[in-house]
Structure 1
Amino acid sequence: MENAEQEYEETVSTLREMAPHLESLMRALTAAEGIPIHYIVSRVKTKFSTLQKLNRPGKNYTGIGDLTDVLGIRIVTYFPDDVDAVADVVKREFSVDGENSIDKRALLDPDRFGYLSLHFVAKLGEQRAALAEYVRYSNVAFEIQVRSILQHAWAEIEHDLGYKSSSTVPREIRRRFSRLAGLLELADSEFTEIKRFLGERDDAIERAGETAEEVPLDEETLFVFVQRDPVITALDRKVSRALKMNLEPPQREYAVLLLHCTKGMGINTWQELSDRLKSASKVLYDFMVTWILDLYKDVSEPDLGGLDAVPPGLGVYYLYLWNIASGNIPAEAYDFESLSKARDYTVRLQSLPGGAQSG
């Protein structure tokens, strides 16, 4: 036991040093493949857990070098198909010990409860192990666990309840566990199908591009529209430059607000919206800049009452406001002061040469 404790102390410093490198490496590799990851975390077994495993009955460990999971890294994905994508990365980038690696998804009987995950035992790949920053870790074996977020939730709850083996679980609890496992597996499958459907839909919208006369506007199509339509993207860039503001990344939440605006204007398709923006682009630009500069007097201040950057698609909102101020659609819930300002700007801008379009 004393020798094991000494060996642990000699080994653990290297493992603790390696752990953050391994985390960073996996983040970089999965990001390069475009795999969405919930989180990646590493851990080094405690001395107590390590010594307990070394002295487990029925095992003939000769020392810590026989253990392959003292250093471990856990990768939690959002979807179960991403577990397979991560597995492909691991197999390609590391030297995997196939004999000691295990896919628990393939072992689980249909009438048994338990969590599904992949467990790899691996070392650094030959080329990476030869690099100066990794050479000292070239012979270190470690464990990589990969599971989806729902699989992880199952494992954490099961662990918290204290059940390590199904043989210790009362029959009624086993039945409940089985039902829950089925529900989680179904949920994982449905989330994957939803992701696939939305991906195929976005691809179809992307292919439609500027010729999308028949593409109906909804949250998804409008989200793509504000990123791809040349009229709205040009207007966003022009306004952001005039206001000396950054252009925000696109947000789906903002597309929900813009969808309310398009419905209020009676606009139902991608092409209709693009045409309306194009016909009003000059006066709309003047209207936006005049309104925002008056509302936020000093644009150099970091806090502009909530508008510190231009969200993609802002022109759609101001097209809506322009139509309200012009009397083309009902004022709805706009406060009197804002509506009076908007109407004043509308009258002023419409009186300018070339500014008579109402949008």
Structure 2
Amino acid sequence: MSDIEGDYRLRHDKALTPIAGSLATYLNDLLKGIQRIDRVSTRPKSIDRFVAKATKLKDDRPKYDDPLHQIQDQIGARIITFYLEDVPRVADAVLPYFHAIERQKIVPEREWEFGYFGQHYILMLPADVVDSSIDKALVPEFFELQIKTLFQHAWSEAEHDLGYKPGSQPLEADQLRQLAYTSAQAWGADRMFNELFLAREGVLRSAG
């Protein structure tokens, strides 16, 4: 077992797992009364994925000098909403309670391409979610929060499983086209459901 793997395994078991559970409770409390939330989930980054990321090379040199401190998504949180319209509303409800380090709206590079969409934030980990019994040396400074719709979440999970699973074979050209096709369908479905929701809300407001 490498030093990186052993050090992270200790952190994963002793700190990240219990903190992720407390963070889920914290987020759910913040979102009480907020409509159209499908789920809130948190998780520590898996040991295999952390080691793979920590040992990445850039220009034939290690990308990270100190991965235990530099990798910011050792704890990840997701808030899954029903509609596109809900994403900024949920962000406005949650973000004031955190100190944001980085905000990123992820979209494909070109307008005619389809792929992953989502809002990602690197936030300071609040002290309230860290139990006093946890060794502070094992606690990361940050966590990653993703806010996305059901369609964005479903597509990204399937795409990651198909394309990035360790040991899996690279997708062939036609398979990549099929993946792009499903992404376009998910993109369109997201917008169609959002338009239907807005149309319904408009009718209800005018009726009221």
Q: TM-score range by the shorter chain?
A: 0.7 to 0.9
Secondary structure of the residue that 2:99 maps to in structure 1? Answer: strand
**CA positional deviation for 1:79:** 0.7
Query: Whose RCO is larger (CA < 8 A, sep 6+)?
Result: 2
Q: Following superposition, which runs of at least 4 residues in structure 1 exceed 6 angstroms of deviation?
A: none
Would the aligned equivalents of 2:74 and 2:140 in 1 still touch at CA under 8 Å? no
Given that 2:74 and 2:143 are in contact with CA atoms closer than 8 Å, whether structure 1 keeps it comes out as yes
Distance between the aligned counterparts of 1:21 and 1:192, measured in 2? 32
| Residue of structure 1 equivalent to 2:101 | 97
- Greater helix percent: which structure? 1
Structure with greater Cα Rg: 1
Structure 1 gap ranges (5+): 208-359
Residue in 1 that maps onto 2:161:
160
- Asked whether the equivalents of residues 64 and 70 of structure 2 are also in contact (C-alpha less than 8 Å), the reply is no
Partner SS, residue 178 of structure 1: helix
Q: Residues 178 and 9 (structure 1 numbering): CA distance in 2 closer, same or farther, change over 3 Å?
A: closer
SS in 2 for 1:69: coil
TM-score, normalisation: structure 1: 0.48
Instruction: Decide whether the 8 Å contact of 2:44 with 2:74 is kept in 1.
Output: yes
Q: Deviations over 1:119-148 (max 9, x none)?
A: 2111146xxx3x5x6575886311112211
AA matched with 2:191:
S
Task: Provide, for residues 224-281 of structure 1, a one-character-per-residue CA deviation record: whole Å limited to 9, x for no partner.
Answer: xxxxxxxxxxxxxxxxxxxxxxxxxxxxxxxxxxxxxxxxxxxxxxxxxxxxxxxxxx
The amino acid that maps onto 1:25 is Y
Distance 1:163 1:141 in 2: 24
Alignment RMSD: 2.7
Preserved CA contact (<8 Å) 1:30 1:36: no
**Structure 2 counterpart of 1:73:** 77
- 2:11 aligned residue: 11
Structure 2 match to 1:113: 114
* 1:9–1:109 Cα change, 3 Å: same
Q: Percent identity?
A: 26
Q: Which runs of 5+ in 2 are unaligned?
A: none
Secondary structure class of the residue paired with 2:85: helix
Secondary structure in 2 matching 1:142: strand
After superposition, what is the alpha-carbon deviation per residue over 1:50-102, rounded to whole angstroms, capped at 9, x for unaligned? 2222111120231412111111112211111212222223432211112xx42
Counterpart position of 2:64: 60
Distance in 1 of aligned mates of 2:64 and 2:130 = 30
Do the aligned partners of residues 10 and 158 (structure 1) sit closer, same or farther apart at CA in structure 2, a change above 3 Å counting? closer
What is the correspondence of 1:276-355 to structure 2 with a 5 Å cutoff? Answer: none
Count of residue correspondences: 194
Cα distance change on mapping 1:158 and 1:63 into 2, 3 Å = closer
